[in-house]
Amino acid sequence: MGVWLADHDVRPDAVLCSPANRTRETWARVSQALESSGGAPDATYDESIYEASVKALQGVLRGVPAKTKTVLLIGHNPGVHDLVVQLAGRGDEKAKALAAASFPTSGLAVLGVAKPWADLAAGSATLEVFEVPRG
């Protein structure tokens, strides 16, 4: 997924990551791909992301500074899956259906958010892309 992000010029300004080993390993691989194509920010490891509910994840995102444009959230299911489904009020219907059906390990949802992070609410985002890793 790091290669996909780099190839599609999706560059996070901030990375919020669960401190679990698996998410740290995911960020290490993603950041390596981003570093090799222009750079990656440091991650913030946040205990509240570990096995978090949608409400907890929304709280984490609502705390992101308004000046931050692109956030990469690396967390766990079912919370991340449920968050994507809840936030995606608009977007490609095929991508929304795929995301609603299943969110596999290392799945990637790119959501467009027009409002400040502090105003993040159900249905307030556009699901722009839903990618799953290829075998």
In this predicted structure, what is the pLDDT of residue 124?
93
Question: How distant, in Å, are the alpha carbons of 65, 91, 135 from that of 85?
Answer: 23, 11, 24
Give the span between the Cα atoms of 91 and 126, in whole angstroms: 5
Find the domain containing 115 and state its range.
2-131
Question: What percentage of the chain's residues is helix, strand, coil (to nearest 5)?
Answer: 40, 20, 40
In this predicted structure, what is the pLDDT of residue 41?
93
Taking only the tens place, the pLDDT of each residue in 47-95 is 999 999 999 999 999 999 999 999 999 999 999 999 999 999 998 888 8
In this predicted structure, what is the pLDDT of residue 104?
87
Whether residue 102 is predicted with pLDDT greater than 90 in this model: the reply is no
In this predicted structure, what is the pLDDT of residue 122?
93
The domain tally of the chain equals: 1
- Amino acid at the residue 1: M
Sheet strands side by side (includes 71-74): 43-45, 14-17, 71-74
Length of the chain, in residues: 135
Taking only the tens place, the pLDDT of each residue in 3-38 is 999 999 899 999 999 999 999 999 999 999 999 888
Tokens representing residue 94 in the block: 């095929």
Per the DSSP assignment, residues forming a β-bridge with 112 are 126
In this predicted structure, what is the pLDDT of residue 127?
94
Task: Decide if 57 contacts 49 (C-beta within 8 A).
Answer: yes
Whether residue 40 is predicted with pLDDT greater than 60 in this model: the reply is yes
CATH number, position 23: 3.40.50.1240
Give the span between the Cα atoms of 65 and 77, in whole angstroms: 25
In this predicted structure, what is the pLDDT of residue 135?
52
In this predicted structure, what is the pLDDT of residue 112?
93
Q: What are phi and psi of 15, to 5 degrees?
A: -125, 125
CA angle 47, 48, 52 (to 5 degrees): 125
